């Protein structure tokens, strides 16, 4: 049975306990939370006593790092509990206060421990390595120490680092200004919806309008959005240009060869990986052009426009999928991952990891989270659609990644990098997709699933790589001393859309302003990670389905690795080498096969 249905959302207390997560597994009383809060305060004071002493002996360094792990881990536990309790019902004043206190404490904890890394890299390397060689327990921290030493050449003198730290607010100004403009100040006009009623356009409603079956609504929303941004085009160009200038300043000061090199260095990724991703996608753009042509045919349009890219070409099946059915589908879909994974997954579904249904005040969306010393948790707002089934598979991918990592790795390596974060979730989606496609005779459902998968490729691989290429071009122009004007940005963006989407679509001039509304451009060179993670996951899922156990064992080893090595090295464990084009090429083969099937159905 699903949760109680009706026009108004149920209150938290009206949800059946079997559909709620068990946060009492973290703390079964507020008194115990308060005890740990006091303990963190004490540990925070204790860690400061190590300042200035880390180079004196291996034992002192080890004791400090062990205390740091204990402090950070316990602080995580406090924060995770408070925040997830608040997420159950954001109107609950008790957990609002707990979250505020945990947030303030976290700031104090990081400030107290901030001396550790600068002090470690100031110790002569031969001394540090003699410490590690002479102390077995300290060897756990070898990768952590290596990583800090690797970036040492880009770390400046203490005074210069202080100055750079003080400049952070100025450096982030472009991003802060854009955020305020884009979320608070910009206002869009009213348009007429499908029923002819005047409705205010908002960013939240925009995609819904683009998914409308009424083409007039799609076109009106598209033009209304971009014409609004165009009225501020010079200001928006100045914001983005200022962000590029900030990147140039920091990459130059830290002695990097380019902004791209500086950005990729935190993951120890070479710029060749970035370039290879773009080149491989370029070689396969013919497939995207074929998909665009298929969309034009399916929508029965003489001319396909940019505002026709989001309207579903296949309606979602109307059947309601009960949560228990969804769980069964996910379990069956992920069965290729083997018995051990299956048992752990089954235990997760039965042991209070998941908060299933929407209730009044509950945080929207879905996520996976948890603390090192607890099992992971998953927040859902399950509605019974096919998309919701894929959301379960996705979030359980994150949860199982954390589960295996926390079970295997010491705390210091329990956080995996963003570069690999979406791999496990997308592997699950790919396996579930394969299972569902192989187990339906319903032509409408099959077409919907195929289109769902094709859209994942378009949105996560092709679109994000186009964004990545745009970022690369504008930074290279700036580094060559060329001016970045609004016209320059629009021209570059227009040409990229033309290249990526091909001749079967009209590249409306409105789309030239799309760069002006993408928040990720203020977290420069970030979006390519979506494309590499997606490609890696598709490649891994194919290996699992074709090779069976050897591929599964490689993949589980990857899940157990956390942050114990560099992302590229960790993915090699799973049989994916992103320093070569092969994983992206493998993903393109899957896209082609999916497109072939869809063309037969439409």
* Cα distances (Å, whole numbers) of residue 69 to 139, 504, 548, 555: 15, 56, 37, 27
In this model, does residue 347 exceed pLDDT 80?
Answer: yes
Give pLDDT, residue 535: 96
**Residues labelled catalytic:** 395
Give pLDDT, residue 7: 60
CA 28/CA 25 separation, integer angstroms: 7
Structure tokens at 330: 């996910």
Give the chain's domains with CATH numbers. Answer: 12-169 (1.20.140.70), 256-313+418-602 (1.10.1370.20)
Structure tokens at 39: 């303990």
Q: Please count the other Cβ atoms lying within 10 Å of the Cβ belonging to residue 56.
A: 11
Give the pLDDT confidence of 363-411 residue by residue, as tens digits.
988 999 999 999 999 999 999 999 999 999 999 999 999 999 999 999 9
* Cα distances (Å, whole numbers) of residue 570 to 276, 350, 535: 19, 30, 15
Give the pLDDT confidence of 267-325 residue by residue, as tens digits.
999 999 999 999 999 999 999 999 999 999 999 999 999 999 999 998 888 889 999 99
Q: Between β-strands 377-379 and 354-355, what pairing exists: parallel, antiparallel or unpaired?
A: parallel
In this model, does residue 156 exceed pLDDT 90?
Answer: no
Q: What is the mean pLDDT of residues 21-26?
A: 97
In this model, does residue 200 exceed pLDDT 50?
Answer: yes
Rg (C-alpha) for the chain, rounded Å, is 25
Give pLDDT, residue 161: 79
4 pLDDT band, cuts 50/70/90, is very low
* Cα distances (Å, whole numbers) of residue 303 to 227, 287, 496: 21, 19, 20
Residues 6+ apart with CB under 8 A from 565: 143
In this model, does residue 5 exceed pLDDT 60?
Answer: no
Q: Tell me the β-bridge partners of 546.
A: none
In this model, does residue 165 exceed pLDDT 80?
Answer: no
Give the pLDDT confidence of 520-577 residue by residue, as tens digits.
999 999 999 999 999 999 999 999 999 999 999 999 999 999 999 999 999 999 999 9
């Amino acid at each position: 049975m699903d949760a109680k249905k009706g026009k108004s959302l149920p209150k938290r207390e009206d949800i059946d306990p079997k559909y709620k997560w068990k946060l009492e597994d973290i703390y079964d009383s507020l008194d115990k939370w308060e005890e740990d809060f006091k303990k963190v305060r004490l540990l925070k004071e204790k860690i400061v006593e190590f300042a200035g002493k880390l180079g004196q002996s291996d034992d002192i360094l080890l004791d400090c790092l062990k205390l740091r792990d204990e402090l950070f881990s316990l602080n995580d536990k406090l924060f995770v509990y408070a925040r997830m309790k608040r997420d159950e019902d954001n109107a609950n004043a008790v957990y609002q206060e707990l979250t505020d206190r945990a947030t303030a404490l976290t700031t104090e904890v990081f400030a107290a421990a901030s001396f550790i890394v600068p002090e470690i890299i100031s110790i002569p390397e031969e001394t540090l390595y003699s410490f590690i060689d002479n102390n077995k327990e300290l060897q756990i921290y070898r990768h952590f120490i290596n990583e800090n030493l690797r970036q040492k050449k880009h770390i400046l003198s203490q005074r210069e680092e202080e100055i750079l730290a003080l400049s952070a607010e100025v450096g982030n100004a472009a991003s802060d200004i854009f955020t305020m403009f884009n979320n608070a100040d910009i206002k869009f006009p009213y348009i007429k919806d499908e029923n002819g009623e005047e409705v205010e356009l908002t960013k939240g409603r925009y995609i819904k309008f683009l998914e409308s079956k009424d083409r007039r609504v799609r076109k009106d929303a598209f033009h209304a959005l971009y014409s609004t941004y165009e009225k501020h085009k010079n200001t928006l160009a100045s914001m983005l240009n200022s962000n590029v200038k900030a990147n140039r300043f920091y990459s130059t000061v830290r002695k990097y060869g380019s902004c791209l090199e500086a950005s990729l260095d935190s993951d120890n990724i070479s710029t060749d990986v970035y370039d290879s991703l773009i080149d491989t996608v370029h070689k396969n753009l013919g497939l995207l052009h074929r998909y665009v042509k298929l969309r034009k045919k399916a929508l029965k349009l003489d001319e396909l426009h940019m505002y026709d890219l989001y309207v579903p070409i296949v309606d979602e099946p109307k059947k309601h999928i009960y949560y228990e059915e969804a769980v069964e589908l996910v379990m069956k879909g992920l069965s290729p991952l083997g018995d051990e994974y299956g048992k752990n997954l089954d235990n997760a579904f039965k042991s209070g990891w998941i908060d299933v249904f929407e209730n009044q005040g509950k945080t929207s969306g879905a996520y996976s989270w948890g603390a090192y010393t607890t099992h992971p948790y998953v927040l859902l707002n399950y509605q019974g659609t096919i998309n919701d089934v894929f959301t379960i598979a996705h979030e359980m991918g994150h949860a199982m990644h954390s589960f295996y990592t926390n079970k295997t790795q010491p705390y210091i390596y329990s956080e995996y990098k963003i570069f690999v974060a979406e791999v496990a979730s997308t592997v699950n989606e790919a396996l579930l997709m394969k299972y569902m496609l192989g187990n339906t005779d319903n032509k409408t459902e099959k077409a919907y699933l195929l289109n769902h998968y094709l859209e994942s490729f378009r949105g996560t691989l092709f679109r994000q790589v186009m964004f990545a290429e745009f970022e690369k071009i504008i930074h290279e122009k700036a580094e060559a001393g060329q001016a970045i004007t609004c016209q320059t940005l629009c021209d570059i963006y227009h040409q990229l859309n033309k290249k990526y989407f091909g001749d079967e679509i009209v590249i409306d001039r409105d789309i030239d302003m799309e760069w002006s509304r993408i928040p990720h451009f203020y977290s420069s060179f970030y979006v390519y990670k979506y494309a590499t993670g997606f490609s890696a996951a598709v490649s891994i899922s194919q290996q699992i389905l074709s090779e069976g156990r050897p591929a599964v064992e490689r993949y589980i080893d990857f899940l157990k690795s956390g942050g114990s090595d560099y992302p590229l090295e960790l993915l090699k464990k799973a049989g994916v080498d992103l320093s070569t084009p092969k994983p992206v090429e493998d993903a393109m083969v899957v896209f082609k096969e999916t497109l072939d099937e869809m063309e037969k159905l439409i």
